[in-house]
Amino acid sequence: MLRQVEITPEEDEARRERFPVGAAIGFADLEEAGREAALDRLRSVEPVSWVPALGGWLVTGHAEARKMLSPRAGMTVEAEENLVRASLGRMMLTTDGDEHARLRAPFERPFRMREVGELFAAAITAEADGLLDGLVTGGHCEIGEAFAAPFAVRMTGRVLGLSLDDVTRIDGFYSAFAGAMVYDGNPEPQRLADAARDELNAILHADLARCRRAPDASITSEVSNDADQGVTDDEAVAQLRVIMFGGIETIQAAIMNTLVLLLRDPPQLEAVRADRGVLANAIEESLRLIPPVAFIERWTSGPTTIGRVELGRGEFVGASVLAANRDPLFFADPLRYDVHRENARRHLSFSFGEHFCLGAPLARLEIVEALARVLDRLPGLRLVARDEPAGFAFRRPARLELAWGRA
């Protein structure tokens, strides 16, 4: 396991002088809503920069971030200081090479694009409609609590074959995990994440035992009953934790973020209503402009160069997905939400390289079908009140109140 290098005060000062714009970035610029322009300014002059507030290097250019995430970049996730590992444990996102491939392999087949439609399309529609049945006559709700969160949790449970009936409890676990993945030096979120992981582990181990007693068609049953999969129960639980995290946090955020962007831009909403075939690209554009996963971390496994900046071994390097997805060198007029953008799908919101999101095909299908049902069944949908999307590692509005029907 790699250890991050310790930078001397003299080296830190030299880096601050070389990268003055990065030195001026505060942690709030990486986390709070309305401060994205600071990252845009940083990207324009220092697309790879030393950011003392982060305790490492920050990559904000699209080309530079894509290179950083590529398998040939000389980067690793296997570092003692990796907060994703500290929060969610040792699993496919915190291992590299053969170990990563071994842990990921048992879960890959059901998430391939060819399979997800056949396996899950009917369940997605049924789950969305079941939730909307209880909303349509109300005329008003906070859509995260009433729809996006329970849809994400329940669909994850159906896909994996897990007992996730207590939506509030499960959502709370993942809020604790997300809170611990913030490189601000505060130890309290890690304590909360450890407690959440212990509780969730008990649920997942019970589900593994249940699937052995009564096998079904779920992914968990398939993995737990196949001795040739080559993973222990603890390893299987660790993979389920991170798959659940992607299935819950990313889906909930993408639904809410897309609704924010569509409802505050009537011409774009009308384009989607006029041609429902545009919805999939509208979602890709929302993933680009407000990425649910806004920050990805790596460590240099040896000397490497990113964006003309030479880095030694053991350096902490973070990619701001938020900034890279707004790079005008790659996306024309990048601050504009454009449901017809031709290269919207080239965002980095599902990462890139060997750690590209395992569940991306299923996530895309879930978001499209869920939003299609929302738009179809809640006529006259409009914003009532909202918090702007915010967050360091994961980005979405904390509150999104909507109304529908007659104004």
CB atoms within 10 A of CB 335: 11
CA distance 390 to 376: 28
258 near 282, Cβ under 8 Å? yes
375 near 272, Cβ under 8 Å? yes
CA distance 20 to 245: 36
Domains and CATH numbers, the chain: 9-403 (1.10.630.10)
| pLDDT single digits (tens) 326-370 | 999 999 999 999 999 999 999 999 999 999 998 899 999 999 999
Q: What is the rounded average pLDDT of the residues 127-147?
A: 95
pLDDT over threshold 80, residue 51? yes
- E-strand ranges in 120-183 read 140-142
| pLDDT single digits (tens) 361-402 | 999 999 999 999 999 999 999 999 999 999 999 999 999 999
User: What is the tally of helices (H) and strands (E) in the chain?
Assistant: 19, 10
Distances in Å between the alpha carbon of 189 and those of 174, 179, 185? 12, 6, 10
pLDDT over threshold 80, residue 244? yes
Name the residue among 160, 154, 164, 197 with its Cα closest to residue 178. Answer: 197
Name the residue among 25, 21, 53, 37 with its Cα closest to residue 323. Answer: 37
Q: What is the pTM of this model?
A: 0.93
The percentage of the chain sitting over the pLDDT mark of 70, rounded to a whole number, equals 99
CA distance 23 to 261: 32
| pLDDT single digits (tens) 76-128 | 999 988 888 888 888 898 999 999 999 998 888 777 766 777 778 888 999 99
Point out which residues pair with 396 in neighbouring strands. 390
CA distance 73 to 303: 10
Name the residue among 133, 60, 53, 62 with its Cα closest to residue 332. Answer: 62
